Amino acid sequence: MTELPLLFTPLQLRDLELKNRIMVSPMATYSAQEGRATDWHTAHIGKLAAGGAGLVFVEQSSVNTQGRITHGCLGIWDDAHIADHAALAALIHSFNAKAAIQIAHGGRKGSSQRPWEGGNPLSESDIKARGEGPWQIAASSGIPFDDGWPAPQMLTSEQIDALVDDYRQAFRRARAAGYDVIELHCAHGYLMHSFLSPLANNRNDEYGGSRENRMRLPLRIAAIMREEWPSHLPAFVRISSVDGIDIGWSIEDSIAFAAELKAIGIDMVDCSSGGMKLPRGNSLVSRTPGFQVPFAERIQKEAGMPTVAVGLIREPDYAEAILRDGKATLIALGRELLWNPNWPAQTALALGCDPEWTSWPEQYGWWLKRRVAQQGR
């Protein structure tokens, strides 16, 4: 019997079994209305779930209104959001995939335009154009994200305690909605990353200064996530493995952080990078396939923490090699699945492990199998 490719070997995470090791990354689409999901989300998530991935993430969902990046961010700050999320989780389940959600706060990158509106801080022009005004943003420190961006309010200890409770309630709502996997967003310059990185955190209290102090709040919230999430289901954390080249948060910091996450029961670290505004010479070049895989490899091997590899992983053979070489445990795709949502099902065919076309919805597979038999493609 031919050995099954690792990409399509089931993966056990606590009591949850993934049918394969392909993950749909959480991708913000900025299309919610007052935090509520719309028909867009149903069509978008349904298309991705139908493509054959084992784990499908719904986009980052904000823990409170201040934590939105844009007016179009999906929310999980109110019990009224549970029904929308439950519908998305059920839709994912209907395609024999597991449903996941990322919980986030935009921090100093909040109160922004959608990317296709410019991605700049909201201003009077946005009120005139769309009736969407700015709001007060908050972060670890009062350092603006970039020149021309507003200075965020530095969160006080009392506000941090209130924020921690917002996260706790969001975790509870996510489970009430029926998700199988939860992920805490600690990457890309958003709030939790702004506590971790010395480029954004200049506090002089217990949440700033040393690496131990800068990790304190993300670890506190991750521990609450593990406490609130059912013990039989896995919890992930997404990180920016490095801020850039020879600057800020480093891979060594990420290895130390991952070891602490492992100690509190986090099951997987999702290894992205970047998100800070950096001098050109310190910015990562993100045009090389698998440019973040070395980060996933080091964290997996040196911290003993299973990792998700993500970033320009497009070719099936390369994705399989990452797993075979022990560089990661899951393969995540984002924009590649926007281009081709059927990548997982097509990869199963390409690797010769789905002769009966079971990776496809039955309504498609029955016809496509016969199409290939008749036409050769």
Residue pLDDT, tens place only, 54-74: 999 999 999 999 999 999 999
Split into its structural domains, the chain has a count of: 1
Find the catalytic residue in 190, 207, 318, 364: 190
Kindly state whether residue 50 falls inside one of the protein's structural domains: yes
Looking at residue 61, its pLDDT comes to 98
Write out pLDDT tens, residues 233-252.
Answer: 999 999 999 999 999 999 99
User: Please, what's the b/e burial string for 328-346 (b: 16 or more CB within 10 A of its CB; e: otherwise)?
Assistant: bbbbbbbeebeeebbbbbb
Kindly state whether residue 193 falls inside one of the protein's structural domains: yes
Looking at residue 1, its pLDDT comes to 42
Closest CA to 220 of 186, 271, 188, 267: 186
CATH number of the domain where residue 253 is located: 3.20.20.70
Kindly state whether residue 290 falls inside one of the protein's structural domains: yes
pTM score, whole prediction: 0.96
Are 64 and 105 in contact by the 8 Å Cβ rule? The answer is yes
Closest CA to 188 of 245, 256, 151, 239: 239
Looking at residue 117, its pLDDT comes to 97
Kindly state whether residue 300 falls inside one of the protein's structural domains: yes
Are 134 and 121 in contact by the 8 Å Cβ rule? The answer is yes
- Alpha helix stretches (DSSP H) within the chain: 39-50, 82-94, 124-130, 157-176, 191-196, 211-228, 251-263, 293-302, 316-324, 335-339, 343-350, 362-375
Kindly state whether residue 213 falls inside one of the protein's structural domains: yes
Instruction: Note down the domain range covering 170.
Output: 6-375
Kindly state whether residue 81 falls inside one of the protein's structural domains: yes
At 297 the three-state DSSP class reads: helix
Low-confidence stretches of the chain (pLDDT beneath 50): 1
Kindly state whether residue 1 falls inside one of the protein's structural domains: no
Q: How many helices (H) and strands (E) does the chain have?
A: 12, 13
End-to-end CA distance of the chain: 26
At 199 the three-state DSSP class reads: coil
Active site residue 207: no
Looking at residue 225, its pLDDT comes to 98
Percentage of residues in the chain having pLDDT higher than 70: 99
Looking at residue 377, its pLDDT comes to 66
Kindly state whether residue 224 falls inside one of the protein's structural domains: yes
